[in-house]
Amino acid sequence: MATKTIMLVCSAGMSTSMLVTKMQKAAEAQGIDTDIFAVSASDADNSLAAKDVNVLLLGPQVRFMKGQFESKLAGKGIPLEVIDMKDYGMMNGENVLAQALKLIEG
């Protein structure tokens, strides 16, 4: 199975890195090959240019940037959604991984 590349964007990339770790553990437990990483909103363009991203999830603290990201992703076929605030607050890697996979699969 092809690697699923999941990009998380937050204000500084710090709080989301803990969520990335939990998502990676959930993916390993389910036998899913993933490349999950977090970047700051200011570094998102570089990562989008450098990697073949399958889905982009925004941290709740940058939900106001959703419109900007929709414009950046227009025509690229990369689904975009804001991470559920409760799952983010609880650092529920399993639920956030499921959200990302559902978006990838359409």
Q: Nearest to residue 48, comparing CAs of 81, 7, 82, 88?
A: 7
Looking at 1-106, list the stretches that DSSP marks H as alpha helix, in order from N- to C-terminal side: 15-29, 44-50, 66-73, 85-89, 93-105
Catalytically annotated residue among 6, 7, 8, 10: 10
Active site residue 10: yes
Q: Give the H or E element holding residue 82.
A: strand 80-82
Q: Which residues are catalytic?
A: 10
